[in-house]
Amino acid sequence: MNSNSGGNYTVNSENSALYVVATPIGNLGDMSQRAVEILQQVALIAAEDTRHSARLLRHFAVTTPCVALHEHNEREQSSRLLQRLANGESVALIADAGTPLLSDPGFHLVQQARRQGIRVIPVPGPSAVIAALSVSGLPTDCFKFIGFLPAKAAARRQRLAALAAEPCTLAFYESPHRILESLADMSEMLGSEREAVLARELTKTFETVQGGSLNELQAFVSGDANQQKGEMVLLVAGAPAVETALDPEVERILGILLEELPVKQAAALAARITGVKKNQLYQQALTMKN
């Protein structure tokens, strides 16, 4: 199958490909025209849950046969799909919602397809984590996708402890049944003042994007049963930058200067003497003065 910018896609059985196709995370209007055309034209669709996807496919008049590919059969099903790809047929992979492989099956299939030299082509579209990040107001230049935390409290807390010093924005998928427990654990392990954003039911009728400290979010969710329903992404700001401790000699010089000079001048002079950044010395001088 070859693509062009005009949106016509023709099957070329000598040039088969595995298409990884994103589907809506709630609002069917987010289905791309290209996704529909690819799904109509491939020989086979591998879906996480064929019954779930049947509704979506019916809506877009896609009559392509579907097979199930889920966490319990991924290896065997992948072998069959790879065989069909090797025979020149094109296959599309879809998840129940959003982009496959993001907390969804397909990793083994894609990995094997690439290893076997089969073309793997993305058909990009919705993904809950990207949608949440794009409206969160939290830094997006660096983020770490964690997906679902472990269900058991001890393992969850251990995972959070390992993430406590991570400077990038943390992105979690969360189940409504566990949101309160997770927020409580995050408050404890990451710090209750950490900024966070809960993005719930994105693209759907009851979409809510609520920001605040982990503490505030905990109060918001526990105070409103509706916030404990539906699908949710929880984003947490990365760990604040830790200023490296000053050399004791630098601190001594700054202390002497502070006895004679106002904070700003003391910091500027100490910077010239020691070569340490003026800003860092200014912050330190403020702390010492107080």
Contact residues: ligand SAM, CB under 6 A: 25-26, 95, 97-99, 102-104, 127-129, 173-175, 199-204, 231-233
Judged by beta carbon, residue 11 or residue 101, the one nearer ligand SAM is 101
Judged by beta carbon, residue 74 or residue 174, the one nearer ligand SAM is 174
Q: Is 119 helix (H, G, I), strand (E, B) or coil?
A: strand
Q: What are phi and psi of 31, to 5 degrees?
A: -70, 130
Judged by beta carbon, residue 186 or residue 266, the one nearer ligand SAM is 186
| Dihedral, CA of residue 77, residue 82, residue 88 and residue 89, to nearest 10 | 30
Question: What is the number of other CB atoms lying within 10 angstroms of the CB of residue 92?
Answer: 27
Query: Which residues are CB-contacts of 192 (< 8 A; sequence separation ≥ 6)?
Result: 213, 214, 215, 218
Closest distance of CB 104 from ligand SAM, Å: 4
Closest distance of CB 100 from ligand SAM, Å: 6
Closest distance of CB 242 from ligand SAM, Å: 31
Judged by beta carbon, residue 109 or residue 270, the one nearer ligand SAM is 109
Closest residue to ligand SAM, based on beta-carbon distance: 98
CB 49 within 8 A of CB 122: no
CB 174 within 8 A of CB 196: no
Judged by beta carbon, residue 17 or residue 198, the one nearer ligand SAM is 198
Closest distance of CB 62 from ligand SAM, Å: 19
Closest distance of CB 198 from ligand SAM, Å: 9
